Amino acid sequence: MTAQTDTPGSVTAVYQVTGMSCGHCEGSVSAEISELAGVTSVKAVAATGEVTVVSEAPLDEAAVRAAVDEAGFELAGRA
C-alpha cells in the first residue's frame, strides 16, 4: 500500500512489523513511532503485524525503521 492522503495535511502509511505478539509489543512500537516528528496517530496490531501511522507529511522510512528497531522489532516494509 502506498501512502494516501486522508485529510488536508494528513498522510496514512501502513507498515509490516515482525515480532509483535502482545499488547505490550504494540505499545512499545507505538510509543517509539509516536516520537517521530509529525506523527499524529499510531495503531499497532500484533495479530497482523500491521502498524498504521498517520502523519502531517510522508515519513522517512529509515526513521520509522530506526524507531521500530529501538522498540526491539523489525520493520519488514510497507504493508
Residues 16-45: tens digit of each pLDDT: 999 999 999 999 999 999 999 999 999 999
- The rounded distance, in Å, linking the Cα atoms of 23 and 46 is 7
C-alpha cell at 37: 516528528
What are the backbone dihedrals phi and psi of residue 32, each rounded to the nearest 5 degrees, phi first?
-65, -45
Helix axes 61-70, 23-34, angle to 10 degrees: 130
Element (H, E) at 68: helix 61-70
Instruction: Please state whether the predicted TM-score (pTM) of the whole model is above 0.85.
Output: yes
